[in-house]
């Protein structure tokens, strides 16, 4: 009788421990889910509060990373409707030597001569075509380009819609399009 009582007590304690473990694991799973949701909410809030300048710079980084062949130098035409905003110009400068270009063919020839004097490298003219947001978490920046020096001279990159995504840290990133090497 004592043995049966110990066995019942032992089984009851064991069942209680299993039940407690299940409750605790369920609570832990819920806490993890809550932390993930809280982290996503924080990340989204950070992206919503970021400026258009941040989105434009990230889009230009992505556009440059997707360009084939890779360009090591950049030009832009200031004072036109296709001129990148200041944040875009800064993004170009962050990626490599950046020069102002002209709409006047005579002035273009001067810049082309200077570019070729320091090396026959691909130089990409980047044109900005605007930023549209369906909401604060879904921006689209439109950019195009044309190589003005180097082996791809004259090759164009049509208008691309670059849509940065808000990542889990609250930073904007450009994902690589399907079938490409990457957008860095």
Model confidence pLDDT, tens digit, residues 43-93: 889 999 999 999 999 999 999 999 999 999 999 999 999 999 999 999 999
139 domain residue, yes or no: yes
List the chain residues with pLDDT less than 50: 182-184
Cα–Cα distance between 26 and 33 in angstroms, integer?
Answer: 11
Alpha helices per DSSP H over the chain? 2-49, 52-66, 86-95, 105-117
Domain match, 93 and 113 both: yes
pLDDT for 157 equals 97
Give the count of domains, the chain.
Answer: 2
Range 143-146 contact pairs with CB under 8 angstroms and sequence separation of 24 or more: 143/59, 143/60, 143/63, 145/63, 145/67
96 domain residue, yes or no: yes
Q: How many residues does the chain have?
A: 184
163, 47 in Cβ contact below 8 A?
Answer: no
Cα–Cα distance between 78 and 82 in angstroms, integer?
Answer: 8
Name the pairing type of β-strands 123-133 and 73-76: parallel
pLDDT for 183 equals 45
Domain match, 43 and 121 both: no
178 domain residue, yes or no: no
Tally of helices (H runs) and strands (E runs) in the chain: 4, 7
Domain match, 113 and 27 both: no
Domain match, 26 and 86 both: no
152 domain residue, yes or no: yes
136 domain residue, yes or no: yes
12 domain residue, yes or no: yes
Domain match, 40 and 118 both: no
Cα–Cα distance between 2 and 29 in angstroms, integer?
Answer: 40
pLDDT for 184 equals 44
Cα–Cα distance between 4 and 15 in angstroms, integer?
Answer: 16
pLDDT for 182 equals 45
Which domain range does residue 118 map to?
51-173
Domain match, 70 and 141 both: yes
Sign of torsion over alpha carbons 5, 6, 10, 13: positive
pLDDT for 117 equals 93
Total-model pTM: 0.76
80 domain residue, yes or no: yes
Domain match, 81 and 124 both: yes
């Amino acid at each position: 009788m004592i043995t049966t009582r110990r066995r019942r007590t032992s089984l009851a304690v064991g069942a209680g421990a299993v039940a407690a473990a299940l409750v605790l694991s369920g609570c832990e799973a819920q806490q993890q889910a809550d932390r993930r949701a809280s982290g996503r909410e924080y990340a989204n809030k950070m992206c919503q509060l970021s400026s258009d300048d941040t989105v434009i710079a990230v889009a230009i980084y992505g556009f440059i990373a997707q360009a084939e062949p890779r360009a090591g130098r950049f030009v832009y035409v200031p004072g036109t409707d296709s001129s990148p905003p200041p944040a875009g110009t800064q993004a170009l400068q962050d990626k490599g030597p950046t020069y102002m270009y002209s709409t006047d063919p005579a002035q273009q020839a001067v810049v082309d001569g200077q570019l070729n004097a320091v090396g026959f490298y691909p130089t990409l003219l980047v044109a900005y075509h605007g930023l549209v947001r369906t909401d604060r978490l879904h921006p689209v920046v439109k950019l195009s380009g044309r190589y003005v020096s180097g082996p791809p001279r004259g090759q164009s990159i049509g208008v691309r819609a670059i849509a940065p995504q808000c990542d889990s840290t609250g930073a904007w990133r450009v994902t690589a399009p399907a079938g490409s090497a990457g957008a860095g």
